[in-house]
Amino acid sequence: MISHTLRDQLLIDELQLGQSLNQAVHDGRRGDFGLLLSMLSPDVEDQPWVADALPSATEATDWRRRFELPRARPLQADALSAERAVAITASVQHGDLTTARLLDCLEPEPLLRQQYALDPLVWENMSPLIQQKYQLAREGATVARDPLAQLPPAAMLDTISAAVAQPDLVVRYFAAA
Asked if residue 1 has pLDDT above 60, the reply is no
- For the chain, how far is it from start to end, CA to CA, in angstroms? 66
Q: Which of 92, 88, 138 is nearest to 109 (CA)?
A: 88
pLDDT tens-place string over residues 68-120: 888 888 887 776 777 888 889 899 999 999 999 998 888 888 887 665 567 77
Asked if the structure places residue 19 within a domain, the reply is yes
Q: Note down the domain range covering 42.
A: 4-52+115-149
Q: Using the predicted structure, report yes or no on whether residue 38 has a pLDDT greater than 70.
A: yes
Question: Is 157 part of any domain?
Answer: no
Residues 77/114, Cβ–Cβ less than 8 Å: yes
Secondary structure (DSSP) of 21-41: HHHHHHHT-HHHHHHHHHHS-
How many domains does the chain fold into?
Answer: 1
DSSP 112: B
pLDDT bracket for residue 59 (50, 70, 90): confident
On whether residue 33 sits in a domain, the answer given is yes
The structure's pTM equals 0.34
Burial string for 152-175 (b: 16+ CB within 10 Å, else e) reads eeeeeeeeeeeeeeeeeeeeeeee
Q: Is residue 14 assigned to a domain?
A: yes
Residue 32 lies in a domain: yes
- Helices 81-93, 97-106: crossing angle, 10 deg rounding: 160
